[in-house]
Structure 1
Amino acid sequence: MSGVALRVLIVEDEVFIALELECLLEEAGHVPVGVATRSAEAIALARDLAPDVALVDIHLADGPTGVAVAQALSAQAGTVVLFTTANAKRVPPDFAGAVGIIAKPYSERVIRAALAYVAGRYHGGAATGAPDGVVLAP
């Protein structure tokens, strides 16, 4: 654990993946603040809850809208976006404002390392190197 408990919004339409992520986050000492399955819901939750991090899938219940969600959330001060997707080719070259991509299927180790990296780089935690299993934005 990085020492910094991050508030994390999960943007994922697969219920079992979202539940697994919630448990993993709690076990790692982070706080899942909500789960969104659609783009409008994700944007509204982020506005209301001001998460430190949003884990965003590319394909949501309302279609391939994760890129638009990432753009909206990354424009919000204090929110860092990481894509969690099996469709990394759909991420635009500018990463739509996200700081990186966690490829599915991912492991608990990769999620923990990615969040430790975000905590260190963006939220005053102990700095860590670029995590294995995460493609960082250019």
Structure 2
Amino acid sequence: MKIMIVEDEALLALELEYEVEAAGHSVVGTAASRKAAFEMISQTAPEFAFVDVHLNDGPTGIEIGEHLSELGIPFVFVTGNIKRIPPGFVGAIGAIEKPYTMHGLKNALTYIGDWVAKGETNSPPAGLILAE
């Protein structure tokens, strides 16, 4: 799966990239702002995205999520404050709350990979909050 990471904290972005690649997926790029994310979406056609809600240019992760949803690209919010996500999660599969563990992230990535590939999965792992 080709995955885009939208995260403004460099260390978190690198850790997430490492876990994504260790799970056998490829990272098409990392963006730290709305502008960079929109450019990356149009240039790389990701199959999935991890999106932080609050980026270098403010809480623009919501706008990025709306854009991904309009394009039919599945995504998950990764945020330190779930309450910042609007009702309905603007089309996201769900959210992973920071701080997360690498084990929890691996389980969430496996679940998400199955969901994207098959459209169906078992119960979500701990740490992954599904949109209602």
Scaled by the length of structure 1, the TM-score of the pair is 0.88
Matches within 5 A, 1:1-138: 6-77=1-72, 79-124=73-118, 127-138=121-132
Identity %: 42
Q: 2-side partners of 1:39 and 1:97: how far apart?
A: 17
The answer to whether the 8 A contact 1:80-1:118 is kept is no
SS class of match (2:49):
strand
The answer to whether the 8 A contact 2:20-2:109 is kept is no
Structure 2: unaligned runs, 5 residues or longer:
none
Scaled by the length of structure 2, the TM-score of the pair is 0.92
Seen in structure 2, the aligned counterparts of structure 1 residues 125 and 137 have a Cα distance that, compared at 3 Å, is closer
Deviation at 1:60, TM superposition (A): 0.4
- Counterpart of 1:87, as a letter, is N
Structure 1: unaligned runs, 5 residues or longer:
1-5
Deviation at 1:133, TM superposition (A): 0.6
- Counterpart of 2:16, as a letter, is L
Deviation at 1:128, TM superposition (A): 3.5
Normalized per residue, the structure richer in helix is 2
Q: How many residues align?
A: 132
